[in-house]
Amino acid sequence: MTNFNRRVYEIVCRIPPGRVMSYGQVARLAGNAHASRAVGYALHQTDDEDHVPWQRVVYKDGGLAFGDRQYALLQAEGVVFTAEEKVDMALCRWTQEEAEESLWW
């Protein structure tokens, strides 16, 4: 596992239930602001046994990469959606500042 992937998993595991971050936010916190796709790749490599809440990472506009399954998991956590079935980022985004306070590296 790369250091970048390890950081991605640590960050994503700290996103509280009911909150989300964008791929870009996670990439910036993990040390490479241009690595949004690498965040997606890292999350794709996990499985349910890893207990990484991958569903809490969404597109910057609140769109979902994994459709109905991701929607159901986020809805069960209390995430609010718009009429277009995108996450209401104004209400549910875990901000960079909140994330940085939670991390200690």
Q: Per residue in 50-102, pLDDT tens? A: 899 999 999 999 999 999 999 999 999 999 999 999 999 999 999 988 888 87
pTM for the model stands at 0.93
Scan for tokens 């718009």, then name that residue. 82
- Domains, the chain, ordered by start: 3-97 (1.10.10.10)
What does the pLDDT average to over 8-13? 96
pLDDT band per the 50, 70, 90 thresholds, residue 23 = very high
Strand (E) or helix (H) holding 97: helix 96-102
DSSP letter for 2, please: -
